[in-house]
Structure 1
């Protein structure tokens, strides 16, 4: 009797097991493939993040505030009437604003009218000297640019980029404010605004309205 009951129980359990839902083998295989694919994607993304260069950093001035401004002698190709070269050291005794620019630089072009206005109001009267330095454009384009924007401050040409290198120029416009002793007192690595110009000139002892 016990044997018969046990046999019946085994049959019943077997039937119940047979009725349990089965996951198709194809579905199991698909799930496995999806899992492995997801792992591969995650590994690939991790490797990509590791190998990619870090985000671009904000340009840093090559000559720190408080350091002596590197001397240079460059020819005038536009702006001023003079055709002789300008030497920075010869301008000692007066503050100098050195603006690095390029004709193809939109912020550079946008700030030129403001620079010209400030130059006409203050620099042309001897309060400070404003110099524009270009190294990226053809020589003839610099003179044309000066005429187009009616620039009267000297536009200098850094033919071999030696001055740009000495000042660590990595982006334009970049503007250095140098005091009468030839020391860098402020640097702007963006388009000059009235506020930035006022702050830069104040750093070299020139006060102008905002």
Structure 2
């Protein structure tokens, strides 16, 4: 009987420990992170846009890029949406912004509602198969790749705001 009580107590403590760890791990969004992709060439890709037309994203366009990966159910993605519109408004002539919905992990109708709600003016692509998310090793959302005009990856961020991206974007544009 004592062994059963001890076993149940240990299991309950383990469950409580796991719940506490998981609930605290996403309280604050991650900010600016440099990973092993830094300096590597971006991966060119093609996806359908929201009008079902094929859209190409290539490293040889000569323009710096912001690649934004998101889902409609992600709270941080919702917070980021306003900043993306502002960034686009401020830098649309100098920075190519492409937003990729992880449609393989999202509901297309909800994604379309999200797009309509935030009135995005930049290209929105739909990754139905998760192929591009896999190639870019997306493990957290939102994820933002900043790409130099020569097609190399400059930085990856997980919490994009107008203020924390300003210096990075201006550095990309100056190159």
State the TM-score, normalizing by the size of structure 2. 0.74
Instruction: Report the alpha carbon displacement of residue 139 of structure 1 after superposing the two structures with TM.
Output: 2.5
Higher relative contact order (CA 8 A, sep 6+): 2
Deviations 1:144-180 (A, max 9, x none): 2211111111111011101101111000011000111
Query: In 1, Cα distance between the equivalents of 2:60 and 2:114?
Result: 25
C-alpha distance 178-162 of structure 1, shift in aligned 2 (>3 A): same
2:77 pairs with one of 82, 99, 108: 108
More strand by share: 2
Rg: which structure is higher? 1
Taking the TM superposition and a 5 Å limit, the aligned residue runs for 1:124-139 are 126-135=93-102, 136-139=105-108
Matched with 2:54 is 85
State the TM-score, normalizing by the size of structure 1. 0.63
The answer to whether the aligner puts 1:66 opposite 2:39 as a matched pair is: yes
CA contact (8 A) 2:64 2:96 kept: yes
CA RMSD of aligned residues (A): 3.3
Q: Matched residue pairs, number?
A: 157
Matched with 2:126 is 157
CA contact (8 A) 2:60 2:150 kept: no
Structure 2 unmatched ranges of 5 or more? none
Matched with 1:201 is 169
C-alpha distance 139-63 of structure 1, shift in aligned 2 (>3 A): farther
CA contact (8 A) 1:63 1:184 kept: no
Query: In 2, Cα distance between the equivalents of 1:140 and 1:200?
Result: 33
Query: In 2, Cα distance between the equivalents of 1:132 and 1:171?
Result: 15
Query: In 1, Cα distance between the equivalents of 2:119 and 2:131?
Result: 27
Instruction: Report the alpha carbon displacement of residue 62 of structure 1 after superposing the two structures with TM.
Output: 7.0
CA contact (8 A) 2:94 2:173 kept: no
